[in-house]
Amino acid sequence: MFDKILIANRGEIACRVIKTARRMGIKTVAVYSDADRDALHVEMADEAVHIGPAAAAQSYLVIEKIIEACKQTGAQAVHPGYGFLSEREAFPKALAEAGIVFIGPNPHAIAAMGDKIESKKAAAAAKVSTVPGFLGVIESPEQAVPIANEIGYPVMIKASAGGGGKGMRIAYSADEVAEGFARAKSEAASSFGDDRVFIEKFITDPRHIEIQVLGDKHGNVIYLGERECSIQRRNQKVIEEAPSPLLDEATRRLMGEQAVALAKAVGYDSAGTVEFVAGQDKSFYFLEMNTRLQVEHPVTEMITGIDLVEEMIRVAAGEKLRLAQTDVKLNGWAVESRIYAEDPVRNFLPSTGRLVTYRPPHEGEEHGVTIRNDTGVYEGGEISIYYDPMIAKLVTHAPTRARAIEAQGKALDAFAIDGIRHNIPFLSALMQHPRWQSGHLSTGFIAEEFPQGFKAPAPEGEIALRMAAVAAAIDHLLNERKRQISGQMRPTSAVRFDRERVVMLGRERRDVVIEDIDGGIAVLIEGQARPVSSSWKPGDPVWTGTVGGEAIAVQVRPLLNGMLLSHAGAAVEARVYTHREADLAALMPEKVEADTGKKLLCPMPGLVKAISVKPGQEVKVGEPLCMVEAMKMENVLRAERDGTIAKIHAKEGDSLAVDAVILEFA
């Protein structure tokens, strides 16, 4: 076994590998760029080596710098994590020449399976059903359009070396093929250093199901069940679960055996994932193979009890697999939410900045439910524009799917993040969605269920009653503290306006009465007394306690004369008044936001890559105005209506903050 390994990665996956290595008694070496000097993985590792500037192409993607770091520290092996160099055939070859072990598959397997074009050819040769498409490299839009016409729309344009939704575009017409080809090729070059793209048929209403395989260097390969990854946005997975609610045991075995046969055909000898696109009728087609550890590997670990990182390390050290296929048992259900630094109400555009608050829910097992949080950040740390926007992966495991979803919802409610925009409100809303809860999924789920984008809904029904009770309890506690601080004399009995309050949830009015009970208070609302108990204190970002005997968590942020509450996917501005204050507040005029309709505002912090218009130019609806790059994604901003460009405030190369004015219309 190795004494010391280097992790050629950053963020949560680097921290994840360090945890397992530490448990195995293996020392670890971190590498870091200028932007990651104070990163969590640098702090966690036994040693850390600086490898260059913030841009990945000058640091994490430079093989020579990784090898030099190994020589400098005496690391005997390298774990690549995912992304960066993990699926680059040249990387394990260069490591082998330097006498360093690669904790991953052999170069031949990476070449055969890691490249999307080559993997489809290998799958076809192995008689594996594949999606119709053109497997050759396409050089230009002019070549791409007739190929797409022949395949039939819609088509998917994909980067051959891609992953993580980058370098991928769906096209429904020849015009969209031409533009999508250019964007996919450009993103592929900047993200992977490889601009090759190919085209295949896009299967409508599909599900994304993948099989985890594990092989050793002695010819043994097993599969560890499946993961359902159909909840996606822009081809980027958002929620994963294991097992899949679609599959039965017979289909699971068919997919697993096919994945194993494919892996054996290329001599696969590490952890890897065979991805399938599945129809609602349980038909399935080979999509691609990821020759690395997947982002969503924790859900498989939770239902199998197998540490995939440990198995990768043991296999790389030459050990035989410790498990046979008959030893693999699936236990319970696991759900993973990817928590991203992005603004769900601004079409999920990236958000960067400092994590003023970062307080995840408590990890561990309680009452048959396990909570796990894989992360690479900390409170006070910074979300950089240079890398992937993932903050954490929140995983819950329970005996049933329903309980795992319920636990995930509660854990998301208890996850406090401030300083940047994030997608927790959206994830919380998803956990309450009836279609998600029923398991009727497809990769079009988010586009179909949120066609106008996302806006946190106002609370309704039982959720609204809980939030009203929490608002009343918080207001009561604050009032009690104020009276103690002022030293004022108290009447011998309760004052009416002290107990009879009005809770305004947005414009919705609810009359409540506060009653003292043993051990705390009860909030009488709509004729029902709800005991409320909590250890919350002013300044805590999350209110945790019980309302009516049910344990809940509510996000609390102070507002002028009130509080912003978020719970179970709903959000509302709450204010608590006396009856007289409520009557007067109802007479106050509403503040109207300033009109910004004649300005194009930057929707996220990013770099201006191109300005497509000039002052005085007339534009039509849908015409591109400019391109802004953030977190390796190129975002084209288009005209929302016909107009004339009056003034341009930004230029190519500018770094803009969110809501910065890019240009104005006449």
Residues 566 and 559: their CA atoms lie apart, in Å, by 13
Helix or strand holding residue 124 (H, E): helix 116-125
CA nearest 598: which of 645, 658, 563, 654? 645
Three-class SS of 267-329: CCCCEEEEEEEECCCCCEEEEEEECCCCCCHHHHHHHHCCCHHHHHHHHHCCCCCCCCHHHCC
Cβ-Cβ contacts under 8 Å for 90 (sequence gap 6 or more): 63
Strands 101-102 and 77-79, sheet pairing: parallel
* Neighbour tally for 441: CB within 10 Å: 24
Strands 133-134 and 101-102, sheet pairing: unpaired
Give the relative orientation of helices 11-23 and 308-316 as an angle to the nearest 10 degrees. 70
* Neighbour tally for 619: CB within 10 Å: 18
DSSP secondary structure letter of residue 57: G
- Helix, strand, or coil here: 386? coil
Peptide bond into 154 cis (omega under 30): yes
Q: Is 288 a catalytic residue?
A: yes
Peptide bond into 243 cis (omega under 30): yes
User: Is the CB of residue 27 less than 8 Å from the CB of residue 7?
Assistant: no
User: Is the CB of residue 411 less than 8 Å from the CB of residue 552?
Assistant: no
499-513 burial string, b = 16+ CB within 10 Å, else e?
Answer: eebbbbbeeeebebe
Catalytic residue among 200, 210, 228, 288: 288
Amino acid, single-letter form, for residue 75: A
Q: Measured between alpha carbons, how far is residue 62 from residues 6, 9, 292, 295 in Å?
A: 14, 12, 18, 22
Residues 182 and 21: their CA atoms lie apart, in Å, by 42
User: Is the CB of residue 389 less than 8 Å from the CB of residue 420?
Assistant: no
Burial tier of 19 (Cβ tally within 10 Å: 0-12, 13-18, 19+): middle
User: What are the backbone dihedrals phi and psi of residue 137, each rounded to the nearest 5 degrees, phi first?
Assistant: -75, 135
Q: List beta partners, residue 97.
A: none
Cβ-Cβ contacts under 8 Å for 488 (sequence gap 6 or more): none
CA nearest 16: which of 288, 237, 310? 310
Tokens for 480, please give them.
């009690």
Residues 613 and 598: their CA atoms lie apart, in Å, by 15
User: What are the backbone dihedrals phi and psi of residue 402, each rounded to the nearest 5 degrees, phi first?
Assistant: -60, -40
Residues 162 and 116: their CA atoms lie apart, in Å, by 8
- Helix, strand, or coil here: 420? coil
- Helix, strand, or coil here: 637? strand
CA nearest 168: which of 210, 197, 204? 197
Give the relative orientation of helices 424-431 and 401-413 as an angle to the nearest 10 degrees. 150
Residues 156 and 159: their CA atoms lie apart, in Å, by 10
221-233 burial string, b = 16+ CB within 10 Å, else e?
Answer: bbbbbbbbbbbbb
Active site residues: 288
